[in-house]
Amino acid sequence: MKMNRRTFLKTTGAAVVASALPMSLVRVAFGAKNPAQDFTFAYISDAHIQQIEGSKFVRNWDMGLIRAIQEANLLTPRPDFFFFGGDLAQLGKKEELDHGLDIISKLRGKVYYVIGEHDYYLDLGKYWESKISPLWYSFDHKGVHFVVLNSILTYDKWTHKNWTTPMDRMLAMARLDNPEGSPFLVGEKQREWLKKDLERVDKSTPIVLCSHSPIQKIYKGWNFWTDDAESVQTLLKPFNKVTVIYGHVHQIQYNQVGNISFHAVMATAWPWPYPKSYVQDPSHLPKLTVPMNRADPFFERDATGWQFINLRTGNVDMHYQLPDNENRSVVFNPKTGSPKDSKYQDVSRHIPPQNHY
Amino acid sequence: MRDIRRYFGVLLIMLIVTAALAMKFPAQADEFTKEDVARWTKEFTTVVNEGSRLFHSSTLGKNKVSCDQCHPNAANTHPETYPKFQKQIGKVITLFEMVNWCLRNPLEGDPLAADDPRMVALLAYILHERRGVPLAPGKH
């Protein structure tokens, strides 16, 4: 190739960008027999964009979302689409949702949205529904059936009790450790819809269900919990390959319940402690989970991140992108029929920062 | 010999005076009642509750971020491990200095004096949420 100055600058520029990236972003290993059916998507969640006043927003949370989007824009090959996993806003305000959407508009690709409690409890999802996305829906992509649920509903008597203002309700739900909180719920209406939606789907079709709260019960005190989780799981039982992906918990979690694999995603805003580090109350982290590294508060992006996912086997291979930490991969193991960390699963491989207390 | 006699004499007088005082004034300094304990517990609980309020407050710092956003129930604060070496500060520090680090950085606010009633309340809340955990100074 004849190299003039312009092409030299172009190619070295690309080389510099590529060498600054983790290798995992440059090439995704594909293995499906039919490449057309082989696809990846990326998952960004829990940005918690927080307004200070007027056009001033908390810089730290802005930077988390901006960084995730800049990195995701460098994925090669391109993911087929993106998910945003909920809690775009901190207090459900239009200003926060608009500012978040403005940052997300830089993402190159289609985005599917899941609503979180921080987006919902100010106006009960009205602005979200009018401007961003339906609250629950399904779609098919290259032989996989995707379902999105609004899993952060709760009992009517709490939602519609005598709140002084809608913001009081929002603040009550936004406080994770609120003893006056209320457990999350998918609810009968959506479960009926889900039942009908799944009736037309072949039992061998891989199912990926995306919700904000875990459709399993880990710790009720912080709503790492969905009250009707078992009823939703029952609807998913007839299918061969089922994965539930959830946000809300701001940490690595994975589990296998019967035929269902569970994966949590990282937040871009801040990490949360594992429930067992609150010693006054019992909790139930899935035994399979090898925790993320304990956060170093002096590096504000530590223990945050985003993930890309490939579905070449019909099960989810989750690749966590963790700034200044070794990236983690949690991959479905067909031999054991459950997700497995590709490096740290064995207890002898655990490292000191994975010890939470 | 005279010195020893004088010593015992003084000792005897002291004993007599102490016994006389004890009969006249019932013990005060070394005994306390259920009512005392109830009052002290109430005082402590009031400060813990104030600490909880501050810990969940959006006005402690200057950017509306509150402590509990990262530390629900004050979890992951590890008060039992202080004083300890913080590599980023480069020396051994106590918990109040780490609280001040959080006030300055994630909360973008001003630090508090060690004996500021608000700092005392925050520390009371953090330690109360960690009650029962053995002390482990220096642990990482």
Domain locations in chain B as residue ranges: 30-129
> How many domains are contained in chain A?
1
Mean of pLDDT values over B85-91: 92
Nearest to A50 among B65, B73, B130 (CB): B65
User: In this predicted structure, what is the pLDDT of residue A146?
Assistant: 97
Q: With a cut of 50, which residues of chain A have pLDDT below it? A: 1-32
**pLDDT for residue B109:** 98
The pLDDT of residue B71 is above 70: yes
Give the E-state strand segments of B18-96 in sequence order.
Answer: 84-86, 91-93
- Does residue A128 lie within any of the structural domains? yes
Residues A323 and A67: beta-carbon distance below 8 Å? yes
Q: Which domain holds residue A78?
A: 40-351
For the segment B83-93, the average pLDDT, to the nearest whole number, is 94
| Residue A19 lies inside a defined structural domain of this protein | no
Cβ contacts of A278 within 8 Å, gap of 6 or more: A221, A222, B72, B73, B75, B129
At residue A35, the pLDDT reads 52
Q: Does some domain include residue A192?
A: yes
Note the ipTM here: 0.90
Chain B: closest CA distance from residue A228 (Å): 24
Read off the pLDDT of residues B14-34 as tens digits, 9 standing for 90 and up: 666 666 555 666 556 679 999
Its CATH class, for the domain covering B30-129, is mainly alpha
Cβ <8 Å between B72 and A58: no
Of all residues in chain A, the one with the smallest CA distance to B89 is: A298
C-alpha of A50 from chain center: 19
Residue B81: what pLDDT? 98
Q: What residues of B are in contact with residue A177 (Cβ under 8 Å)?
A: 68, 72-73
CA–CA distance, B22 with B28 (Å, rounded to integer): 10
- pLDDT at position B19: 60
Whether A78 is covered by a domain: the verdict is yes
Residue B132 or residue A30, greater confidence: B132
Which of B63, B72, B131 lies nearest to residue A176, judging by beta carbons? B72
Q: Cα A86 to the chain's mean position, in Å?
A: 7
Is residue B9 pLDDT above 90, yes or no?
Answer: no
CATH number at A303 reads 3.60.21.10
